[in-house]
Chain A
Amino acid sequence: MLVIKNLTKIYKGTDKGITDISLRVEKGDIYAFIGHNGAGKTTLLKAVTGIHGFDAGTVEIDGIDIRKQPVAAKQRIAYVPDNPDIYEFMTGIQYLNFVADIFGVSAAEREERIGTYADLFEITGSLGDLISGYSHGMKQKLVLISALLHEPKLLIMDEPFVGLDPKAAYLLKDCMRKLTEQGSAIFFSTHVLDVAEKLCNKVAIIKEGRLIADGLMGEVVGDGESLESLFMETVTEGE
């Protein structure tokens, strides 16, 4: 579903970025992407979604090169950023309608899906309000609903659990499982290692812009170890 080969992106005027990253996310995967602050997680996710350009390497989504056919590739994905900076001048329902229009979701489908997810995340009553009046958690829920509207083949999320209340976090995990059961894939960054260990079948660890471990959760973590202890070992190595 997602194939990243030798991806390199260095920010101009700095030596920060990501270097020579390769990984593969298959259908049905829930893939956790972990690393310390500033390691390059968001940079990779933004390069994969076509928000940022990159210097070298390739990114293919469902066999489509993001650089050669960006529109077709983006049609298959949904992105949830770490900070829900969305159009505050719109109401919640206007924003969802806007996203549905762009992804070409039919009127009947969007009504059904918005109704379902808004009820699930308990924000239906607020959809007529301006987003500027939403709390961080409500904005996060709205972004999640907008990401699920077109049933993406690949869901990319940057710290999706930040700002969510425990119930919403539980519902999100449930949605993630259901989405992958339907054949989609999920690639997300997180600092919540317990959730990553329990929810994900694959994991990748990034340190200073380079991938230092990736693969099946069981193989990467190993017997008798936890993801947390592995993470601490790998990121503190050489410090």
Chain B
Amino acid sequence: MREFSALFRAEMLNCFGKNVYRHTKDPADRKRRKMLRVTVIVLLALAAGYIGGASYALAGFGAARYIPMLYSVSAAAIVLLFGLITVRGNLYREKDRELLAAMPVRGLPIAAARIARLYLYGVFIAALVLVPAYGVYFAFERPGAISYLCTLPVILTVPVLPVVLTVWIGIAVTAILARMRHKVLAEVAIAILVVVGMLVLPVILSGGKMSSLPFADMTEAGAKTRAEMNEAMAKAVSEAMQKTESSIPALKTWGGIARGNLAGLLLFGLGSVALLSLTVLAVGFRFFAITAKLAPTAVHREYRMERLASRSSMTALVSKEAKRYFSCGIYVSNTIIGAVLTVALAVAFGFFEPAKLVEKVGKLPVELHPESAVPFLFGIVISTMSITSSAVSMEGKNWWIVKSLPVRERDIINAKLLFSLLVWAPFYLATEIILWFTLGAGFAGRQLLLAAPAAYIVFSSVWGLFCNLHFPKFRWETPTEVVKQSAAVGLTMLGAVAAVIPAAAMCIVPKAYAHITGFAVLTLLLAAAWLLHRKNLGTALTDMN
């Protein structure tokens, strides 16, 4: 217990960077960390607000009783995703393996401390998702006292299964990656598979019932007034939820627990605790053996001098950016998902035929034109995760190299920007080609569809760089700290959230003005990008440490 206590304290000491924040003497670092805190709080508040809003919408359609089951599973999925992304850097980290192996400490407390940390992060995520969702559920459903009492146990048990899965999947993935030559490519492929799988799996499990909102029935029923429309929509949502709950066992379980099924909660809670304990014991007793086997292996090949070619300094800088990017799995997987989802979205448009869907939905309660926002939607999805928001920080301890080289500071900045645009280019082209075929040449927003994602990509790349140049983080131990936990990334994401506003605004613009308004918005976006780029080029890199 003493060992566990010391190790757990060490694990949690710098939780959310609080220890470094408290002790740092560098005023710039302190400012950056303060900025990160503010950004994270704003993002968390936005996320909680979004969950609350979505729950409220569900409740508005008379589907409040399905909120707990829907959000319990959503929380579990987020915990699983978060766990899978961080498990290699936390549970099986290479960095302090030898340090701990040389200490008189057993594997069990190490594994227990690290899994406990994963679990606590999971509880935090579950609370963030479930508190606003349950708030709306309680307000609308007014369930019995037992349901209220079940809230805390539910928050505590929801992360257990995802954490257990994370531990075992983490071992399997780390073992496979350690033996692969192209580790990063495999890591990225797995990350994409996980995300796409999480999106597709619910649809497969429900046998496609989740997506079968009976819009056609609603319009066929001849619902014309707003009240009739709302009633028809509520009926449709309730039916879809009911079908979904009956199709997926996990949803059924969480739904039952939220409605006060104490026996279910007890059974599920005890089962979860037993499973977690068994996992801790299994991993703990073989911890050093497992981590030793998971250590990456490199094969030495005797090098013989080859013919070398010279390139321009800009090509060398861009090539260096590419090598760094593709050498870091967490960097690639964290930034590429948006681009992959954009292509997937374009393919989905081919299957679901949005024009027909809009036609099916018929007249909406208010005068909305969601089709006008489609080009912007693609722009938002492709540019949500920016490469440039970490590009400067990723230099880390190597920052001295480019600063000491005979290159102009603007070339260093331009190389980072150019590389980001080069990464997005194939995804942009693929999306446009797919949309060309799926939407047909007659689609009214054709030009906007070409321009909007391109403008968003440019703006997002410049904005990300702007944020990173103002909030660089050069002192880091793992790239996760830069890619996921830096002020620059948080701030860039806030910008991405703000980018939803023009898209939402496009929905209410009368159809006759949609085209011109769309181009006006994009012109403003590009003008802002140009101004930011000029500001970026004026940044004195020598003063950044």
Contacts and interface: CB of A to CB of B under 8 A. Distances in A.
Contacts of B407: 71, 102
Nearest to B300: A129
Interface string A120-134: 000011111110010
Interface string B133-151: 0000000000000000000
B542 A51 contact: yes
22 contacts: A50-B403, A70-B409, A74-B406, A81-B400, A85-B397, A89-B324, A90-B320, A93-B306, A94-B323, A97-B316, A102-B313, A102-B317, A103-B406, A104-B313, A110-B308, A110-B310, A115-B305, A124-B303, A124-B304, A125-B303, A127-B303, A133-B300
Interface in A194-224: none
B305 A114 contact: yes
A12 B317 CA distance: 31
Interface of B: 25-28, 298, 300-313, 315-317, 319-320, 323-324, 327-328, 396-398, 400-401, 403-409, 540, 542-543, 545
A18 to B, nearest CB: 15
A75 interface: yes
A100 B310 contact: yes
Nearest to A118: B305
B408 A12 contact: no
Give the interface centre of A70, A72, A73, A114 by most chain B CB atoms within 10 Å.
Answer: A70
Nearest to A106: B310
Contact of A107 (B303, B309, B323): B309
A102 B305 contact: no
B540 A102 contact: no
B44 to A, nearest CB: 30
A79 to B, nearest CB: 5
Interface string A41-83: 0000010011111000000000000000011111101010101
Contact of A111 (B302, B307, B405): B307
B403 A86 contact: no
A105 B310 contact: yes
Interface residues of A, number: 51
A106 B309 CA distance: 8
Contacts of B302: 125, 128
Given A13-B25, A97-B308, A128-B303, A53 B401 contact: no
B405 A102 contact: yes
A114 B316 CA distance: 18
A99 B404 CA distance: 11
Given A51-B403, A51-B542, A100-B310, A85 B398 contact: yes
A170 interface: no
A111 B305 contact: yes
A37 interface: no
A87 B406 contact: no
B303 A93 contact: yes
A126 B400 contact: no
Contacts of B542: 50-53, 70
A101 interface: yes
Nearest to A71: B406
Given A98-B320, A115-B305, A124-B305, A50 B404 contact: yes
Contact of B545 (A52, A77, A97, A118): A52
Contacts of A127: 303, 305
Contact of B400 (A46, A92, A98): A46
Contacts of B298: 129-130, 133
A66 B26 CA distance: 26
A101 to B, nearest CB: 4
B308 A114 contact: yes
A53 B327 CA distance: 31
A107 B309 CA distance: 5
Contact of A87 (B27, B307, B320): B320
A14 interface: yes
Nearest to A87: B398
B206 to A, nearest CB: 43
Nearest to B319: A98
A92 B305 CA distance: 12
B469 to A, nearest CB: 15
Contacts of A90: 320, 323
A86 B301 contact: no
A124 B303 CA distance: 6
B25 A14 contact: yes
A98 to B, nearest CB: 5
Contacts of A118: 305
A100 B310 CA distance: 8
Nearest to A156: B404
A96 B543 CA distance: 27
Given A93-B308, A102-B313, 19 more contacts: A12-B28, A50-B403, A51-B400, A51-B542, A52-B545, A53-B542, A53-B543, A71-B406, A72-B406, A86-B401, A87-B324, A89-B323, A90-B323, A99-B405, A103-B405, A104-B310, A111-B307, A125-B303, A133-B298
A101 B26 contact: no
Contacts of B405: 74, 99, 102-103
Give the interface centre of B25, B300, B401 by most chain A CB atoms within 10 Å.
Answer: B401
B208 to A, nearest CB: 44
Contacts of A79: 400, 404
B404 A74 contact: yes
Give the interface centre of A51, A86, A101 by most chain B CB atoms within 10 Å.
Answer: A101
A76 B361 CA distance: 69
A74 to B, nearest CB: 4
B425 to A, nearest CB: 22
Given A50-B403, A71-B407, A101 B305 contact: no
Give the interface centre of A98, A106, A107 by most chain B CB atoms within 10 Å.
Answer: A98
A98 B315 CA distance: 10
Contacts of B320: 87, 90, 98
A71 B316 CA distance: 16
A201 B545 CA distance: 34
A12 to B, nearest CB: 6
Contacts of A75: 406
A101 B308 CA distance: 11
A84 B278 CA distance: 44
A110 B316 CA distance: 15
Contacts of B312: 101
B210 to A, nearest CB: 42
Nearest to B540: A53
B354 to A, nearest CB: 42
A11 B148 CA distance: 56
A14 B29 CA distance: 14
B323 A87 contact: yes
Contact of B327 (A70, A89, A107): A89
A86 to B, nearest CB: 6
Contacts of A72: 406
A13 B26 contact: yes
A70 B409 CA distance: 9
